[in-house]
Amino acid sequence: MDTSLSVSIQTNDFELHQANQALEASAQNINQVGAIVSFVGKVRAFSKQNKLSEMYLEHYPGMTEKQLNDILQQAKSRWPIASASIIHRIGTLTPNEQIVYVGVTSAHRKAAFEACEFIMDILKTTATFWKKERFGESEEWVEAKQSDYEQAGKW
């Protein structure tokens, strides 16, 4: 198992500084880390012009973790990254809460930025998560947007 790659699916929130520290500590050769790039996705307060009261996320246990690990392996095969991590939350989240963390370390910033963007783009369209948005009394399941597929298609 590659200890430089990590995936966590959890209900509890994460702390960005701790996530970045863990990411850096997991690098295969910490002396080669010259860049740490991280992305944090948050719950927006509005969706389709409607005020969002909460979002509910669920996943397919076992399969989703495998998919996320596969995405990290793909990134590692394409860029010279020292470590990479995904933390994805599930359960009920409210506007402004953190949903996802993607972090990458590399010797150079370009590889770290590109790998981080790749991971997030592919995650949005291939990982088995289901999202339900709630707007007061109404709710609807959310599908990936065409723009998400277009973004992932550039890789």
**Cα–Cα distance for residue pair 43/93, rounded to 1 Å:** 7
- For the record, the structure tokens of 137 come out as 């009394």
CA angle 115, 118, 119 (to 5 degrees): 85
Question: What is the pLDDT, as a whole number, of residue 105?
Answer: 97
Each residue's pLDDT tens digit, 64-106? 999 999 999 999 999 999 999 999 999 999 999 999 999 999 9
Identify which of 10, 1, 5 has the alpha carbon closest to the alpha carbon of residue 129: 10
Q: Which residues pair with 47 in a beta bridge?
A: 50
Q: Write down the pLDDT at residue 1.
A: 67
pLDDT tens across 108-142, in order?
A: 999 999 999 999 999 999 999 999 988 888 888 98
Amino acid at 93: L
CB 125 within 8 A of CB 152: yes
By the 8 A CB rule, do 68 and 123 touch?
yes
